[in-house]
Chain A
Amino acid sequence: MAVLKVKFTKTKRDKLAQVLWILNWISVVTGAILFSLGLFLKVEINKRGELMAERDIQYVPNMLIAVGLIACAINFLGGKICYDCVDTTKFLRWKLIMLPYIICTFFFTFCVLVGALMCYSMRGELEESLNLGLTDAIRFYKDTDTPGRCFLKRTVDLLQIHFQCCGNNGYRDWFQIQWISNRYLDMSEKEVIDRLRSNVEGKYLMDGVPFSCCNINSPRPCIQQQITNNSAHFNYEHQTEELNLWMKGCRQALLEYYTHIMQSIGLAVLITWLFELSVLTGVRYLQTSLENVLRQGDPNSESDGWLLENSFMETARTNLNIIKSLGKNNHIHTSNNGDPNINVPSTSKAHYGPDNVPPKQITEGS
Chain B
Amino acid sequence: MVVMKMKFPFEKRVKLAQGLWLLSWCATVAGATTFTLGCVLKTELRRRAEVMDNTDVHIVPNTLMIVGLASLGINYFASKICQDALDAGRFPRWKNFLKPYFAVSCFFTVLMLLAVIMSYAMKGSLESSLKVGLRNGIRFYKDTDTPGRCFQKQNIDRLQMEFQCCGNNDFRDWFEVQWISNRYLDFSTKEVKDRVKSNVDGRYLVDGVPFSCCNPSSPRPCIQYKLTNNSAHYNYEYQTEELNIYLRGCREALVNYYMSLMNTIGAGVLSIFILQGSVLVSLRFLQTAMEAVAGKENTEIETEGYLLEKGVKDTIMEVRSTVWDVVYSQMSPSF
Chain A residues within CB distance 8 Å of chain B: 144-145, 150, 153-154, 157-158, 161, 179-181, 183-186, 189, 210-212, 214, 216-217, 219-222, 224, 233-235
Let me know if A221 and B179 touch, CB within 8 A.
Answer: yes
Q: Do A153 and B216 touch (CB < 8 A)?
A: yes
- Bound complex: CA of A290 vs CA of B36, how far in Å? 53
CB-CB under 8 A from A150, the residues of chain B are 219
Interface 1/0 per residue, B169-211 and A, CB below 8 Å:
0000000000111011110000000000000000000000011
From residue A50, how far is it (CB to closest CB) to chain B in Å? 14
Minimum Cβ distance to chain B for residue A329 (Å): 67
List 26 A-B residue pairs with CB atoms under 8 Å apart, sorted by A's residue number: A153-B218, A161-B161, A161-B216, A179-B221, A183-B220, A183-B235, A184-B235, A185-B234, A186-B234, A210-B222, A211-B211, A211-B214, A211-B221, A211-B222, A212-B214, A214-B212, A216-B154, A217-B154, A219-B145, A219-B181, A220-B144, A220-B180, A220-B184, A221-B184, A235-B183, A235-B186
A153-B216, A158-B216, A235-B186 known; 11 other A-B pairs, CB under 8 Å? Answer: A153-B219, A179-B221, A184-B235, A185-B234, A210-B221, A214-B212, A216-B154, A220-B184, A221-B180, A233-B184, A234-B185
Q: Are A184 and B210 in contact (CB under 8 A)?
A: no
- Alpha-carbon distance A184/B284, docked complex (angstroms): 75
In the complex, what residues of A have CB within 8 A of residue B179's CB? 221
B interface residue numbers (CB < 8 A to A): 144-145, 153-154, 157-158, 161, 179-181, 183-186, 210-212, 214, 216-222, 224, 233-235
In angstroms, how far is the closest chain A Cβ from the Cβ of B100? Answer: 48
Docked Cα-Cα span, A157 to B179, in Å, equals 24
C-alpha spacing A221/B158, complex, angstroms: 14
CB < 8 Å: which of A185, A214, A234 contacts B186?
A234
Q: Is the CB of B157 within 8 A of A154?
A: no
Docked-complex contact A222 and B211, CB < 8 angstroms: yes
Q: Which of B157, B221, B222, B235 has the most CB of A within 10 A?
A: B221
A216 touches B234 (CB 8 A): no
| Cβ of B35 to closest chain A Cβ, rounded Å | 29
Residues on B with C-beta less than 8 A from A224 are 211
Name the CB-closest residue of B to A151: B217
Q: Which residues of A contact B210 (CB under 8 A)?
A: 221-222
Residues of B within 8 A of A145 (CB): 219
Are A211 and B224 CB-contacts (below 8 A) given A145-B219, A224-B211? yes
Across-interface contacts of A216 in B (CB, < 8 A): 153-154, 157-158, 161, 212
Partner of A184, one of B154, B158, B220: B220
- Nearest-CB residue, chain A, relative to B206: A221
Nearest Cβ in chain A — how far from B22, in angstroms? 30
B203 to chain A, nearest CB (A): 15
Q: Complex: how many Å from CA A186 to CA B236?
A: 11
B216 and A220 contact, CB distance less than 8 A: no
Give the CA-CA distance A220 to B210 in the complex, in Å: 10
8 shortest interchain CB distances as A-B pairs: A157-B216, A144-B219, A219-B144, A234-B186, A186-B234, A216-B157, A211-B214, A211-B222
B206 to nearest A CB, angstroms?
Answer: 10
Which residue from chain B places its CB closest to the CB of A145 in the assembled complex?
B219
Q: Using A217-B154, A224-B211 as known contacts, say yes or no to A181 and B184 having CB atoms under 8 A apart.
A: no
Residues of A within 8 A of B184 (CB): 220-221, 233-235
Q: How far is the CB of B142 from chain A (nearest CB, A)?
A: 8
> Which B-chain residue is minimally distant from A209 (CB atoms)?
B221
CB A189 to nearest CB in B, in angstroms, measures 8
CB distance from B223 to the nearest CB of A (A): 9
Would A219 and B222 be within 8 Å (CB), given that A153-B216, A211-B214, A224-B211 are in contact?
no
Chain A residues with CB under 8 Å of B221's CB are: 179-180, 184, 210-211
Q: Could you say which of A185, A186, A220 contacts B181, with CB atoms under 8 Å apart?
A: A220
Q: How far is the CA of A161 from the CA of B157 in the complex (A)?
A: 11
Residues of B within 8 A of A183 (CB): 220, 235
Closest A residue by C-beta to B141: A221
Per the bound structure, the CA–CA distance linking A183 and B186 in Å amounts to: 34
Q: Which residues of A contact B224 (CB under 8 A)?
A: 211
Partner of A214, one of B145, B211, B217: B211
- A219 and B153 contacting across the interface, CB-CB below 8 Å: yes
Residues of B within 8 A of A161 (CB): 161, 216
Q: Which residues of B lie under 8 Å from residue A154 when comparing CB positions?
A: 216-217
The residue on B at minimum CB distance from A141 is: B221
Q: How far is the CA of A178 from the CA of B145 in the complex (A)?
A: 36
Residue of B nearest to A219 (CB): B144
Chain B min CB distance to A339 (Å): 83
Residues of the A chain whose Cβ atoms lie less than 8 Å from the Cβ of B218: 153
- Complex CA distance for A307 and B204, rounded to whole angstroms: 84
**Which residues of B have CB within 8 Å of A179?**
221
